[in-house]
Amino acid sequence: MDTIASLLKAAKQHGSIAQAAIAWQAKEAQTDVEVTRRMMADRLDVMKESLREGLNPDLRSVSGRVGGNAAKLNAAANAKLYGISAKASAYALAIAEDNACMGKIVAAPTAGSCGILPGVLFAAQEALSLSDDALVDAMFVAAAIGHVIAMQATVSGAEGGCQAECGSAAAMAAAAYVQLMHGTDEQAISACGFVLMNTMGLVCDPVDGLVEIPCVYRNASGAAQALNAAQMALAGLVCPLDADCLILTMKDVGSMLPASLRETGEGGCAACACCHTDVSK
């Protein structure tokens, strides 16, 4: 299942992308389906703990630039009823802040993009009263998408820019949300494609080389991007570009980015004159 085309073929054989991914992982690990599902459930538990820690208003990174903002955004989402997108963004920001503050997270697919998938999952769980089992299935869909991207292109910011990290994570989350909404496998792939198309060329430009600014905020926007793409697909919009082609194009675009825009902390946001301003106050 190294391409989207082969993933869809496997999904037809097993009944869905989720079931195909579970069967593939069980075979790779030489274990059974139940053990495989429990392993993913364990990762879900880590994500939940990361969210709890990330929503602590007193959380601060060593640099002092990150921490506490997720709690503010979450409070606003609760008070003003902004909807699932605001909750997903707040949760994504919380987990990304926890990562920046040396908390334990699940790389999904990377540490720098760790908040996007769980942010979408937990916001959806609250809004739709979903079970953890439903989230586990969605995580396998996300994992399958991430696997294909990693095999065909990259999920490394140093290699492909932030399109490969937050872009891939948002594509994974979009497909996962379609699964939660009982959309079709084809709709999940369209959602993935919409994200990849709309994040194409996003650079990796961490201020002072820390996974803090703009990284944590891109997790928040990535969650919203994922939901937007999923909602388009669920409404019947079909991504006009082939997902496999988009993945390969993302790889090509990443290779064209100068080194200053691939995690070196030299260009983009990292070159802003205000980079050393204390934004924690």
- Quick: pLDDT tens for 130-185: 999 999 999 999 999 999 999 999 999 999 999 999 999 999 999 999 999 999 99
Confidence of residue 281 (pLDDT cuts 50, 70, 90): very low
What does the mean pLDDT of the chain come to?
96
Contact 208, 266 (CB under 8 A): no
Residue 276 has pLDDT above 60, yes or no: no
Contact 205, 214 (CB under 8 A): yes
- Half-sphere exposure of residue 59: CA atoms within 13 angstroms, side-chain side: 26
Residue 277 has pLDDT above 90, yes or no: no
Q: In this predicted model, what pLDDT tens digit does every residue of 71-107 receive, in sequence order?
A: 999 999 988 767 899 999 999 999 999 999 999 999 9
- The secondary structure element, H or E, covering residue 141 is helix 132-152
What is the model's pLDDT at position 280? Answer: 47
| Percent of the chain with pLDDT strictly greater than 90 | 94
Over residues 4-18, the mean pLDDT reads 98
What is the model's pLDDT at position 83? Answer: 82
Residue 124 has pLDDT above 80, yes or no: yes
218-229 burial, b at 16+ Cβ within 10 Å, e below that, comes to: bbbbbbbbbbbb
Contact 93, 99 (CB under 8 A): no
Return the structure tokens found at 3: 């391409």
- The secondary structure element, H or E, covering residue 208 is none
What is the DSSP-derived secondary structure letter of residue 262? B
Coil, helix or strand for 204?
A: strand
Q: Is 122 exposed, middle or buried (0-12, 13-18, 19+ CB in 10 A)?
A: buried
What is the model's pLDDT at position 278? Answer: 52
What is the model's pLDDT at position 1? Answer: 87
What is the model's pLDDT at position 79? Answer: 80
In 3D space, the residue among 226, 217, 207 whose CA is nearest the CA of residue 94 turns out to be 217
Residue 275 has pLDDT above 90, yes or no: no
